Amino acid sequence: MSKKSIKKPFSLTLRNYFITGVVVLIPIGFTLYLSKILIGISSKILPKNINPNYYLPFNIPGVEILISIIFITIVGGLSLSFFGRRILKLIDDLFKRIPFLRTVYSAIVQMTETFSKKDDNKKSVVLIEYPRKNVWAVGFATKENTGEMADKTKKKLLNVFVPTTPNPTSGFLLMFPIEDVIYLNMTFEEASKFIVSAGTSIKKN
């Protein structure tokens, strides 16, 4: 006897189509949404006198981001030259002399330098038991805490930044005893991708 093929109900087929559509559209929609935010921010930051959309009879979406990328690249190139380093040193000294700005500026500089280090021998991606026992989270070890917190607790503490999903720019600063922190072999880029993708992007061994 030949087995008859079992046909799926039409409602089930429609449901599968809908779920597939959601899976396809979520990353596209999220990417477009972030792009729209970036374009909006760039259009506000970019001065009108160098914004082509201010002179053209029609807007070119994304031109602000392109100009911003070119500008940042030029600044990066100039900062590596002797003349550029001298200018950056003057700006750095100026910001560090202004009472309120020096606090914010110094903190941002330290954070940027921490996450931009490319020392392959120094691991920064860690696994921590948070927010409760037997529940784990991926974080970034920023620096060993040698301040008052370590003195008060009488423990060697490690500062760990635990980002949120899917926006890794926000999160929590937590301090863990060094012995409670597990270092991972993941790179910063791999960990960031893992967090943004809500854990769906996992590097295969």
Q: Tell me the per-residue pLDDT of 50-81, one tens digit each, with 9 for 90 and over.
A: 677 677 777 776 676 777 777 778 877 877 88
The pLDDT score that the predictor gives to residue 1 is 45
Contacts of 182 (CB under 8 A, 6+ apart): 126, 127, 128
Euclidean distance between CA atoms 160 and 124, whole angstroms? 9
Q: If you average pLDDT over residues 96-119, what whole number do you get? A: 71
Amino acid in the structure at residue 9: P
Which single residue is written with the structure tokens 């914004």? 51
Euclidean distance between CA atoms 10 and 18, whole angstroms? 12
pTM of the entire predicted model? 0.55
pLDDT digits (tens, 9 = 90+) for 6-38: 566 777 878 777 777 776 776 677 667 776 776
Q: Cα torsion for 88, 94, 100, 102, to the nearest 10°?
A: 50
Residue 4 has pLDDT above 60, yes or no: no
DSSP E strand stretches across the chain: 125-129, 136-145, 157-163, 171-177, 182-183
Nearest to 178 by CA among 158, 162, 152, 149: 158
Domain boundaries, the chain: 125-196
- The single-letter DSSP state of residue 166 is S
Confidence of residue 145 (pLDDT cuts 50, 70, 90): confident
Higher pLDDT, 78 or 145: 145
